[in-house]
Structure 1
């Protein structure tokens, strides 16, 4: 963090349409603040106040009088639904999909929600974190005579939306992206897509890297937590237990692997109960274990206690096909060899750096063969671990954060 006595290089207003602030945003805020910028993060409201919240984060609708008007009614209705329906449950997901498809015009919706609150935080740089915030960011940057940065966390318009929604989001992106002073994204493949689609001269890549721990002591946490015998191997999946991540196939694969291999699913989500039922139905309770989600600051020591990590995503949409999820860099930071699906960026970073195995993971049979292969050869596992000692120094937030600060310095 920057010293209180450090001179300010200016104010940065970051916009996020999430409640839980993404690690990428917080790390960027840390790096900019350490370099002398003053950072405010404006985000969606919480259902209940959080006394331990990051002081840089402010929530829309918290000023006297609240949001007011139609935006207030929409948000209040959404909060009421959240009390009765699980956030990631099937019914809530269907209601949200119908609302976005037929009732909500997204550009106007987010302008109504964010614009009035955003005006309270004049800045020299406005950052739209992901596409829903781009129109808001442009409007505020215009009012402040500020630089506009668009940080595209993914290929947003190419998610598993209907074709109508994909076209609508693409139109919004095309309408505003040329007004940006800098465009940043998470990997070279998505950077290439953005350049080609919108005729952009340059799109900067800042990886979703994790901050490299100063010291990561050896730990048997997962073995001890689930009473796993010492000689058995632990394969770790961490992140949301949600659709589109090929998790049912991963569970089914565990019925086909050697009995000394265990899978830990660390996270929560709408598939959690269904996956636990599948584990019981297949009779693999001794090999498949569920760990609740943990706070980001507690995650890496747990991650480090596994033997390897798995990313079984499938290219079911272009966004998934080109993904580089947070867990990839969390595995790298903690020195875990990785089993990843044969997708372009995962192939480039895992196979290209010699830190794990890339394979076709579409079916349980393919996945079981790959898991056995990954964990079968102790010498190869050790070679991957040794290679990770070097790779983690190159793919860490300490380096990405420096590059981010240089981009902002170029805006002055």
Structure 2
């Protein structure tokens, strides 16, 4: 089985979407021949990127001579068009059994072509959102028309699947929901490394962008009654990091919060393993409430952490209340603190939740996800 994995992204950002893409290519590479078609990055820089995310490059790459530029909508459209043209030429020159993409731009491009000019192989689309719901760049009409070019859909959440069916009219028989995953076996062998010994550690890891709710996490800290607790906020960059840094200062929390910018997997996982609780404070947005499948959720589980999460559909798809997590009212710092105190003050509850999360996360390995995808791809090519 030869798979063309197609996704244009800004590799230099090292965002979670890059982690997800590379993790999937690595996992698919264990069960098939995979070629990742991506924008330009030097060979050494790409190797460094893989190292940052602890990726073993068991897949081929075609690093096309184009970069995704987003300075203006016109420039972005041009760079995406150039990428798609080059991908089409490479697909015509190569021999692949299936196309796998999380890039709606590819579907938009294929829709523009006459049928004879399109690749004559099945296309599997992995939607991470409904773009007409979350972006001004894509209309309902464009998304609806473009999705007709996909033969099968692998959304990362049931919220996406529900809207694919109910809003965009996709046949449910062509949909399989596969949430994101984690390297369960790798994390199992990580040794804990504490940033704050002899204190209970509450961890938020990942992006600091608005809908992630990091502000709510920080604003809850003054309401927490449990003593001897340190709060870790790890992963922000640029203006998002500065915004949270200023919030911490304005609330005079510098002695209670440890802030770190984005970290490699090798740096982050030992710290995560030493934490006592993982927090997912998503705000109630379309992405945060319905569409997301957070990598940090599965990382928390694989590290054996009990979880405190916003009471949202996207969280309850994976987490059962009082078994894997406690929930709090989204965007409510006071309620977050109340639920956090409950976890902080109940060591047995933390222990039992952590153990159940370790057991449950086995179902969410990247490897098992890749196996399901290869099985679907084989059915489509028979």
- Report TM bin, short chain: 0.7 to 0.9
Specify which of 218, 242, 261 is matched with residue 251 of structure 1: 218
> In structure 2, what is the Cα distance between the partners aligned to 1:150 and 1:332?
27
The Cα of 1:403 is off from its aligned counterpart by 1.1
Cross-structure match for 2:158: 188
Q: Alpha-carbon deviations, 1:288-342, whole Å to 9, x = none?
A: 0012322235443332121111110111x32221122111111112211111001
Worse overlay, 289-298 or 303-312 = 289-298
> In structure 2, what is the Cα distance between the partners aligned to 1:50 and 1:262?
36
Cross-structure match for 1:288: 257
Specify which of 300, 305, 310 is matched with residue 331 of structure 1: 300
The Cα of 1:374 is off from its aligned counterpart by 2.2
**Does the Cα contact within 8 Å between 2:5 and 2:36 map onto a contact in 1?**
yes
Cross-structure match for 2:178: 206
The Cα of 1:402 is off from its aligned counterpart by 1.8
Instruction: Tell whether 2:123 aligns with 1:155.
Output: no
The Cα of 1:170 is off from its aligned counterpart by 2.7
1:174 match: secondary structure: helix
Instruction: Tell whether 2:12 aligns with 1:12.
Output: no
Specify which of 348, 363, 368 is matched with residue 337 of structure 2: 368
**Does the Cα contact within 8 Å between 2:144 and 2:168 map onto a contact in 1?**
yes
> In structure 1, what is the Cα distance between the partners aligned to 2:253 and 2:308?
21
> In structure 1, what is the Cα distance between the partners aligned to 2:326 and 2:109?
42
**Does the Cα contact within 8 Å between 2:280 and 2:308 map onto a contact in 1?**
yes
Cross-structure match for 2:54: none
Q: Which has the higher contact order (CA 8 A, sep 6+)?
A: 2
Q: Alpha-carbon deviations, 1:259-299, whole Å to 9, x = none?
A: 32211111022221222222222221121001232223544
> In structure 2, what is the Cα distance between the partners aligned to 1:33 and 1:264?
34
**Does the Cα contact within 8 Å between 2:180 and 2:364 map onto a contact in 1?**
no
> In structure 2, what is the Cα distance between the partners aligned to 1:111 and 1:303?
40
Summarize the Cα distance change of 1:118–1:238 in structure 2 as closer, same or farther, 3 Å threshold: farther
Cross-structure match for 2:229: 261
CA RMSD of aligned residues (A): 2.8
Instruction: Tell whether 2:99 aligns with 1:126.
Output: yes
Instruction: Report 1:221-260 matches (<5 A).
Output: 221-222=193-194, 225=195, 228-230=196-198, 232-257=199-224, 258-260=226-228
State the number of aligned residues.
358
Summarize the Cα distance change of 1:369–1:361 in structure 2 as closer, same or farther, 3 Å threshold: farther
Cross-structure match for 1:93: none
TM-score relative to the length of structure 2:
0.84
> In structure 2, what is the Cα distance between the partners aligned to 1:50 and 1:25?
16
Name structure 1 gaps, 5 residues minimum. 1-8, 62-66, 79-95
Instruction: Report 1:20-99 matches (<5 A).
Output: 20=14, 22-37=18-33, 39-46=34-41, 50=45, 52-53=47-48, 56-61=60-65, 75=69, 96=71, 99=72
> In structure 2, what is the Cα distance between the partners aligned to 1:210 and 1:105?
31
> In structure 2, what is the Cα distance between the partners aligned to 1:214 and 1:243?
30
> In structure 1, what is the Cα distance between the partners aligned to 2:272 and 2:202?
10
Q: Alpha-carbon deviations, 1:230-282, whole Å to 9, x = none?
A: 1x211111111222222223212112213322111110222212222222222
Cross-structure match for 1:394: 363
> In structure 1, what is the Cα distance between the partners aligned to 2:380 and 2:38?
24
